[in-house]
Amino acid sequence: MEKKVKALSHLYVTVFLSGFASFIVVPAITDVTMSALCPGTDECSLAIYLSGFQQVIGVGTALMMPLIGNLSDQYGRKSLLTLPMTLSIIPFAVLACSTATNYFYAYYTLRTLTAMISEGSINCLALAYLADNISDTQRASAFGILAGISSGAFVFATLAARFLSAGSTFQVATFVSMLAVVYMRIFLEESIPDRNDSMTQPILKETEGVIQKDGNVDTRKMPVFKTIPSLKDIIRLIKSSPSFSQAAIVAFFQSLAEGGMICSIMYYLKARFHFNKNQFADLMLIAGIISTVSQLFIMPLLVSPIGDGRLLSIGLLVSCLNSIFNSLAWSAWVPYATTALSIVMVFTTPSLRSIISKQVGTTEQGKAQGCISGVTSLANIIAPLIFSPLTALFLSEEAPFHFPGFSILCIAITLMIAFIQSLTIGKTPSNSRDENCSNSMEV
């Protein structure tokens, strides 16, 4: 037990450092983008479209997440963590040198390419690492604590960004990213799921491997291309239980709304209320503090009496209300007031990931988390195709009617769909997991 606690503490530090490096640039990136592309203006359609295009190129992420998750089941979580954490350093280093227009385009290109592997994979592998070391009954609380660590990184990063110039922000991000990789490689112990665990059977078929002297199959000695899950494998995994399928649908719509908010809210607030870097930092700092307290202290207390399914539905409903209030914001204080809803909104992702984790065996945690990360990445690809043009249109003079927050209201509708779907999780009659496993083994 002491060994596991120590291993998890190193995982939490790794996630904190990595998250700090990613989050510290968020308050500055909007101003850097605007000054590089449209200096001296508060509205820039090019910046909105480029932000959306960067998310669309993330189609590579949707393809890479199942692969990375599957390889981590074979070769270990630490080994696979090294790649995305290392790649994430490169774009930060470019803007650490200069925030001029040419450097911004270089950053934009490298960030788009490296995000195909690094975006979301660190969180995916950290969740799989936790699932290796935490029992089913404690998993929702553990996932909530991990989310709280990420929120804590967000708070400290946003607070630090408040006192740094744009150039210094990216220099700090580069240094902390490098520190995270070094710390992880030195202190974090490898975690490879026990493939001989007789308590669980894999849903996906075992591929041909190397037969050892004891008669077991060592898939880690197979060529890498033979460990890549096919589309048929991924579909089988999603269909392995009605709860998994329903959770995947919820993940899609929730991520569609989240992706839409990412490519809309900052430009909406900047155009509507002339928010600057410091105001963005203050807004995110307040939300981050509330989220951290909720995930570290409140959510673990509510999981047992309420359950992760109900927490998921509650979080989605409140997220929907938050989007409605922001779309109707009549004053600059409204976005600040709605951050109080973060205390409940943050239940969504840990609860969803916990539900998904419980649907598969110990040897498929990487596949399952990678599969859902692929679904969320697909949603993030589609989101800017819908919400970036919508935001740009309703913030321009060509809008069909005056409603600057119309795209945010559409995000609220998307969240309502996710909420309604979340109510069906676990309500559909299903065959037992053993029957699914048996059918899978017969393929």
First vs last Cα of the chain: how many Å apart? 38
Q: What is the dihedral of CA 148, 154, 155, 160, to 10 degrees?
A: 150
Q: What is the pLDDT of residue 74?
A: 85
Amino acid occupying residue 413 = I
Q: How far apart are alpha carbons 377 and 124 in whole angstroms?
A: 12
Q: How many CB atoms lie within 10 A of CB 124?
A: 30
Q: What is the pLDDT of residue 214?
A: 46
Beta partners for residue 210, in sequence order: 218
Q: How many CB atoms lie within 10 A of CB 35?
A: 18
Closest CA to 66 of 375, 314, 409, 273: 375
Closest CA to 336 of 414, 255, 280, 276: 280
Does the domain at residues 1-186+232-423 carry the CATH identifier 1.20.1250.20? yes
Kind plus residue range of the DSSP H or E element containing 211 = strand 210-211
Q: If DSSP codes are grouped into helix, strand and coil, which group holds residue 274?
A: coil
Phi, psi of 305 (to 5 degrees): -75, -30
Q: How far apart are alpha carbons 285 and 226 in whole angstroms?
A: 45
Contact, 159 vs 283, CB < 8 A? no
Q: How far apart are alpha carbons 190 and 73 in whole angstroms?
A: 11
Kind plus residue range of the DSSP H or E element containing 296 = none
Q: What is the dihedral of CA 400, 404, 406, 411, to 10 degrees?
A: 150
Please name the residue ranges forming H helices in 328-425.
333-338, 342-345, 348-357, 365-394, 406-422
Total length of the chain: 443
Contact, 24 vs 173, CB < 8 A? yes
375: tokens are 């679904």
Q: What is the dihedral of CA 81, 366, 320, 338, to 10 degrees?
A: -30
What pTM, to 2 d.p., does this model score?
A: 0.80
Q: How far apart are alpha carbons 442 and 297 in whole angstroms?
A: 45
pLDDT in single tens digits along all 443 residues of the chain: 555 666 789 999 999 999 999 999 987 887 788 788 877 666 677 776 776 666 555 566 777 888 888 888 888 899 999 999 999 999 999 999 988 889 988 998 898 888 888 878 899 999 999 988 888 888 888 999 999 999 999 899 988 888 888 779 999 999 999 999 999 999 999 887 765 554 444 444 444 444 444 444 444 444 544 555 555 666 777 777 788 899 999 999 999 999 899 888 888 998 888 887 678 778 888 888 999 999 989 999 998 899 999 999 999 999 999 999 999 999 999 999 999 999 999 999 999 999 999 888 877 888 889 889 888 888 888 888 899 889 989 988 888 999 999 999 999 999 999 999 999 987 655 444 434 433 433 33
Query: 435 CB contacts (<8 Å, ≥6 apart)?
Result: none
Q: How far apart are alpha carbons 239 and 280 in whole angstroms?
A: 41
Calculate the alpha carbon distances from 330 to 60, 202, 325 in Å: 39, 53, 9
Q: What is the pLDDT of residue 196?
A: 56
Q: What is the pLDDT of residue 434?
A: 38
Closest CA to 13 of 160, 180, 126, 190: 180
- In eight-state DSSP terms, residue 295 is I
Phi, psi of 360 (to 5 degrees): -130, 170
Query: 95 CB contacts (<8 Å, ≥6 apart)?
Result: 25, 32, 103, 104, 107, 166, 167, 170
364: tokens are 């498929």
Phi, psi of 218 (to 5 degrees): -100, 95
